[in-house]
């Protein structure tokens, strides 16, 4: 790296891109002042941390892109990280998928629905919740307090009478005109206040309505408000209040080795409603890691709270506040509390991060022991950190497909899974199909395809011989090879006892299989990746078979040529929707006569 080049960098906001000698992007960072930030890596007072030295030893060149503001630099940094996935930036993967509840106030009678992504569409979002079932439990409780509609209006209006939820007093039946828009809006606002944790405000409103109804001698209506207030108070008593008010995300961090663990706690309306953990490789400064995490996490359509509490200060928090405020549409504050309840919440988040780090470390240690045991028992030349497994799925030689499942350090790496449509083999020939898949994988390897340490094929000696032959023909000697044969059911003719044989591992140059101890960690790991490859292949085979069966069925409709069929598919979106289309739907299409519409319906009724 030419150090003199640094002096040509402008003293303005922007993004810098560190590259290796072969041009690969190693790290993407943002800076308020590009020249000063890059100087910090090379000057006399250069960063002394060993992680920085480790990174800079691999940097051959640095490019930069200038932006007008720090906020634009944040946005550009996030975009470039997603595009290049640099090794030294965070690869954000969490422990589960989270859900939110959505209410659109623009609807005449708003309802709550469960969604995965929070988008800027004017709707109100509540959550997050750890699973769809957790969100459904919240809805179930909510409907007992606030009788909102459960289903789309057009679905309910097709019914002759209100649904069972109306009889259970868990729906106010706006679909049949049994409640005014104003009264329903009041119920919807009460539900929103409840979900936002503004229970005190909600109880004040309901108490006022109860007193007004009693003053007007509407005692039955006043009693309903009284019962609702009691139900809310009982529900709130079960929730653990951790602060007086506010919606916060509280972040705690813990480092072990080259990994950074981040724990997020969700405070909604002063109550702790849940949390989630993230673990990723990070060899730079913790503060920089937290800053990059926040930029990427809230750039993924996640719920943005009014405040974010951090354990340590990050550089240039104002730019991130501005970006999040613009995205949320309301003010967002980033704070590092030093005392009081908020500081205690940060300590709780740090404790959660430490616990998650301990658990992750134990898990990694267990995986390491399993990989070493597998290497020892199968006499592998490499520690099998990256294992690839291949399988074939076919039906009498038709709709044949192949699959690749990949495990990295004992964990499924689904971004590396691949599907193969068999092209050269037209008859039932498992060996020929396996040969095609393996040849395509290793003959056409791309730079982003990391070489495997161990290749496993689903099957016995025959499939293993195919793998060995492909590797020999291509001159590939580095990876170890094996095949895993499923257990077989053995039953003696004179006995009613059924016995299942052990799973067997076949190795090149060895006649007899290696029988690993049943339910041992190495065997369970091999069986898990074999089952993943099989599941992935079967799913793809089912899709291909279903798609082509429908295509061949549609192509045989009398009087419908390829051009008209293409027009129908474009209009209805898919063969599935075309199959469901009624005669009236078909007649709305230009060029479709009553006779043709009848022919299409009769054809799909027969097939």
Alpha-carbon span 254 to 70, nearest angstrom: 27
Least confident interval from 1-10, 54-63, 494-503, 564-573:
494-503
- Supply the pLDDT for residue 168: 85
Alpha-carbon span 312 to 41, nearest angstrom: 22
More confident residue, 244 or 318: 318
- Supply the pLDDT for residue 240: 47
For tokens 């002063």, the residue is 270
Task: Give the residue from 544, 539, 600 showing the smallest Cα distance to 569.
Answer: 600
What SS3 string covers 459-516? Answer: CCHHHHHHHHHHHHHCCCCCCEEEEEECCCEECCCCCCCCEECCCEEECCCCCCCECC
- Supply the pLDDT for residue 292: 86
95 has a pLDDT exceeding 50:
no
- Supply the pLDDT for residue 588: 80
Locate 387 and state its tokens: 């294992």
Q: Which of 160-164, 297-301, 495-499, 565-569 has the highest mean pLDDT?
A: 160-164
Task: Give the residue from 451, 417, 422 showing the smallest Cα distance to 437.
Answer: 422
For tokens 């101890």, the residue is 517
Contact call for residues 158 and 175 (beta carbons, < 8 A): no
User: pLDDT tens-digit profile of 40-58?
Assistant: 777 655 555 556 667 777 8
Mean pLDDT of the chain: 82
Least confident interval from 120-129, 376-385, 551-560, 561-570:
551-560
Locate 383 and state its tokens: 């520690």
Give me the DSSP letters along 241-294: B-SSS--EEEEEEEEETTEEEEEEEEEETTEEEEEEEEEEE--S-HHHHHHHHH
* Residue 340, C-beta contacts closer than 8 angstroms, at least 6 positions apart: none
Q: What are phi and psi of 508, to 5 degrees?
A: -60, 140
Question: What is this structure's pTM?
Answer: 0.59
Q: In this structure, how many other beta carbons lie within 10 angstroms of the beta carbon of residue 305?
A: 21
370 has a pLDDT exceeding 80:
yes
Contact call for residues 146 and 194 (beta carbons, < 8 A): yes
Domains (ranges, CATH) in the chain? 3-84 (3.40.1440.10), 99-198 (no CATH), 248-359 (3.30.420), 386-544 (3.30.420.340), 556-606 (1.10.150.20)
Q: What is the mean pLDDT of residues 449-462?
A: 88
Q: What is the mean pLDDT of residues 29-39?
A: 85
- Supply the pLDDT for residue 97: 58
Task: Give the residue from 14, 120, 110, 109 showing the smallest Cα distance to 62.
Answer: 14
Q: What is the mean pLDDT of residues 502-522?
A: 87
9 has a pLDDT exceeding 80:
yes
User: pLDDT tens-digit profile of 19-32?
Assistant: 888 888 888 888 88
Strand partners, 307: 248, 333
What is the β-pairing status of strands 307-309 and 398-408? unpaired
Helical (H) or strand (E) element with 37: helix 34-42
Alpha-carbon span 187 to 193, nearest angstrom: 10
Q: What is the mean pLDDT of residues 488-511?
A: 70
For tokens 């019962």, the residue is 227
| Res. 252 pLDDT band, cuts 50 70 90 | very high
7: DSSP letter: G
Beta strands in 508-606 (DSSP E): none
Alpha-carbon span 135 to 138, nearest angstrom: 5
Task: Give the residue from 429, 428, 438 showing the smallest Cα distance to 402.
Answer: 438
Strand, coil or helix: 411:
strand
What is the β-pairing status of strands 307-309 and 333-335? parallel
DSSP percent split of the chain into helix, strand, coil, nearest 5: 45, 20, 35
Contact call for residues 113 and 291 (beta carbons, < 8 A): no
- Supply the pLDDT for residue 143: 84
User: pLDDT tens-digit profile of 164-192?
Assistant: 888 888 898 898 888 888 889 888 888 88
11 has a pLDDT exceeding 80:
yes
| Res. 328 pLDDT band, cuts 50 70 90 | confident
> Cis omega (within 30 of 0) on the bond before 19?
no
196: DSSP letter: T
* Burial of 160 from C-beta contacts in 10 A (0-12 / 13-18 / 19+): exposed
Q: What percent of the chain has pLDDT over 90?
A: 17
* Residue 503, C-beta contacts closer than 8 angstroms, at least 6 positions apart: 484, 485, 486, 487, 515, 516, 518, 523, 526, 527
- Supply the pLDDT for residue 251: 95
């Amino acid at each position: 790296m030419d150090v003199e080049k640094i002096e040509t960098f402008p003293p303005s906001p922007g993004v810098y891109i560190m590259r290796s000698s072969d041009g690969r992007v190693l790290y993407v960072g943002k800076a308020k002042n590009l020249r000063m930030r890059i100087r910090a890596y090379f000057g006399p007072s250069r960063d002394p941390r060993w992680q920085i030295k480790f990174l800079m030893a691999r940097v051959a060149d640095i490019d930069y892109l200038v932006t007008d503001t720090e906020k634009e630099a944040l946005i550009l940094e996030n975009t470039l990280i997603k595009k290049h996935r640099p090794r030294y930036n965070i690869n954000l993967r969490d422990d589960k998928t989270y859900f939110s509840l959505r209410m659109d106030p623009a609807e005449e009678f708003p309802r709550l629905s469960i969604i995965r992504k929070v988008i800027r569409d004017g709707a109100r979002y509540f959550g997050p919740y750890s699973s769809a079932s957790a969100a459904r439990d919240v809805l179930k409780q909510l409907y007992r307090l606030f009788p909102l509609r459960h289903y789309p209006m057009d679905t309910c209006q097709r019914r002759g009478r209100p649904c069972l939820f109306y009889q259970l007093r868990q729906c106010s039946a706006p679909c049949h005109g049994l409640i005014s828009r104003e009264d329903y809006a009041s119920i919807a606002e009460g539900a929103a206040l409840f979900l936002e944790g503004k229970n005190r405000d909600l109880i004040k409103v309901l108490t006022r309505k109860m007193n007004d109804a009693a003053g007007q001698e509407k005692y039955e209506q006043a009693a309903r408000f009284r019962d609702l207030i009691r139900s809310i108070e009982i529900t709130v008593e079960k929730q653990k209040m951790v602060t007086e008010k506010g919606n916060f995300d509280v972040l705690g961090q813990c480092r072990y080795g080259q990994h950074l663990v981040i724990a997020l706690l969700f405070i909604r309306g002063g109550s702790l409603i849940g949390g989630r953990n993230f673990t990723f490789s990070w060899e730079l400064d913790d503060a920089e890691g937290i800053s990059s995490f926040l930029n990427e996490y809230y750039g993924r359509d996640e719920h943005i709270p009014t405040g974010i509490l951090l354990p340590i200060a990050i550089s240039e928090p104002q730019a991130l506040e501005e970006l999040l405020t613009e995205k949320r549409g309301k003010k967002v504050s980033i704070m590092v509390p030093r005392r009081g309840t908020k500081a205690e919440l940060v300590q709780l988040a740090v404790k959660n991060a430490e616990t998650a780090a301990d658990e992750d470390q134990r898990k990694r240690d267990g995986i390491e022991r399993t990989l070493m045991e597998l290497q020892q028992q199968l006499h592998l030349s490499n520690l099998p950190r990256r294992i690839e497994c291949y399988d074939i799925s076919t039906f009498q030689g038709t709709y044949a497909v192949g699959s690749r499942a990949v495990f990295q350090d004992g964990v499924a790496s689904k971004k590396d899974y691949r599907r193969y449509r068999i092209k050269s083999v037209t008859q039932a020939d498992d060996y020929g199909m396996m040969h095609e898949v393996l040849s395509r994988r290793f003959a056409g390897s791309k730079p982003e395809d990391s070489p495997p340490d161990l290749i496993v094929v689903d099957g016995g000696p025959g499939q293993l011989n195919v793998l060995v032959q492909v590797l020999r023909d291509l001159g590939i000697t580095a990876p170890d090879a094996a095949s895993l044969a499923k257990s077989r059911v053995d039953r003696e003719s004179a006995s009613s006892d059924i016995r299942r044989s052990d799973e067997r591992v076949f190795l090149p140059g060895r006649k007899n299989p290696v029988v690993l101890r049943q339910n041992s960690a190495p065997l369970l790991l091999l069986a898990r990746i074999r089952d993943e490859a099989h599941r992935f292949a079967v799913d793809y085979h089912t899709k291909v078979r279903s798609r082509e069966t429908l295509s061949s069925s549609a192509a045989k409709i009398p009087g419908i040529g390829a051009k008209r069929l293409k027009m129908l598919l474009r209009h209805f979106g898919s063969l599935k929707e075309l199959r469901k289309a009624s005669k009236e739907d078909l007649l709305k299409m230009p060029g479709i006569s009553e006779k043709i519409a009848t022919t299409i319906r009769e054809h799909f009724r027969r097939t």
